């Protein structure tokens, strides 16, 4: 954009900008090598996944990490709680009257000896 | 894959390949982006050795960012220009004041230019760099992005995290200062017939 730039800027700077673009410093081979070495070092974990991780850790990652594990733990604890401490509020008084654990022999007697 | 077989592939796609362990993408990105990063750092710092350090650091940050790169949010080059500017500003605040190493300006690749023209172009580039070094940081960044890197104002606004009006104001003030600084040298630098 030499002439057009100069005309557009109208301040005589176009030639200076053009000269700067034409003399852009280029990276040395050493810099390119260092940048590429950094790239390869950063890539290394992606290319070679660690096999030293235990099965539990890999499974943990596979399931989705801590958010998934938190959900699983919550669901398990809720199940245990419902199973061991049935909340009375969920059962009305009328239904509670029938919620009596009886042995099969007593059930036979209550049924008048007929099953 | 050949070193430069990815010329048509966008930077963002190459970065995804890089994050997946593709070594050809690493080479292509290095070859494509390091010169731009290096040149931009040089123009902000005026010192080749420091510009190389900044370029390496900026590229290292890109490599580390690759796995978390969010597609569609920003162009890789926009992100890099911002990182380079921040690294340069940090350095300048630590060391205060850049310097123009006269032997740092590279010889042009074009062998057709006469020796006189080459020397004159070098002198112009050096004079501009010296004047740029005297500008306030933000004015220098805006002028370099607009008039040397050739970016549009909206992209510069994104890089500098300011409004387009602020970009226009910075470039305008920066160019006025450059014109004043270089006015006395135009004849010396071969602009007699062009004015």
What would the mean pLDDT of A80-94 be, rounded to a whole number?
Answer: 65
Give me the total of CB pairs closer than 8 Å, taking one residue from chain A and one from chain B. Answer: 124
Give residue B195's pLDDT band: very low, low, confident or very high (50, 70, 90). very low
The string of pLDDT tens digits covering residues A25-44 is 999 999 999 999 999 999 87
Which of the residues B46, B55, B59, B187 would you substitute to probe the A interface, choosing the one with the greatest number of A C-beta atoms within 10 Å?
A: B59
Residue contact A36–B51, C-beta within 8 A: no
Residue contact A32–B51, C-beta within 8 A: no
Both tokens of A67, joined, read: 């958010």
The string of pLDDT tens digits covering residues B152-185 is 999 999 999 999 999 999 999 999 999 999 987 7
Residue contact A17–B122, C-beta within 8 A: no
Integer angstrom CA distances of residue B127 from A15, B99, B193: 11, 12, 19
Looking at this predicted complex, what is its ipTM? 0.81
Nearest by CB to residue A25, choosing from B18, B104, B128, is B104
Closest CA to A25 of B189, B139, B52: B52
Residue contact B106–A25, C-beta within 8 A: yes
Q: What is the pLDDT of residue B174?
A: 96
């Amino acid at each position: 954009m030499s002439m057009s730039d100069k005309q557009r800027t109208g301040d005589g700077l176009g030639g200076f900008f053009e000269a700067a673009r034409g003399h852009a410093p280029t990276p040395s081979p050493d810099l390119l090598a260092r940048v590429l070495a950094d790239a390869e070092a950063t890539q290394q974990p992606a290319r070679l996944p660690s096999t030293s991780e235990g099965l539990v850790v890999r499974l943990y990652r596979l399931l989705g990490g801590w958010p998934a594990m938190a959900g699983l733990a919550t669901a398990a604890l809720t199940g245990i709680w419902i199973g061991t401490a049935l909340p009375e509020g969920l059962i009305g008084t009328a239904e509670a009257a029938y919620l009596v654990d009886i042995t099969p022999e007593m059930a036979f007697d209550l049924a008048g000896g007929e099953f | 894959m050949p070193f430069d077989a990815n010329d048509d592939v966008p930077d963002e796609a190459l970065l995804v390949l890089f994050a997946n362990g593709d070594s050809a993408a690493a080479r292509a990105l290095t070859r494509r982006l390091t010169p731009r990063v290096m040149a931009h750092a040089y123009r902000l710092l005026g010192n080749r050795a420091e510009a190389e350090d900044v370029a390496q650091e900026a590229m290292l940050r890109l490599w580390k960012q690759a796995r978390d790169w969010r597609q569609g949010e920003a162009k890789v080059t926009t992100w890099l220009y911002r990182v380079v500017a921040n690294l340069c500003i940090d350095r300048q605040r630590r060391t205060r004041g850049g310097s123009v190493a006269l032997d740092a300006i590279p010889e042009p690749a074009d062998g057709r230019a006469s020796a006189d023209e080459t020397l004159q172009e070098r002198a112009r580039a050096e004079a501009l760099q010296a004047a740029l070094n005297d500008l306030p940081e933000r004015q220098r960044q805006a002028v370099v992005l607009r008039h040397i890197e050739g970016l549009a104002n909206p992209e510069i606004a994104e890089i500098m995290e300011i409004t387009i009006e602020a970009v226009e104001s910075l470039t305008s003030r920066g160019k006025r200062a450059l014109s004043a600084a270089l006015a006395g040298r135009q004849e010396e630098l071969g602009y007699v017939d062009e004015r």
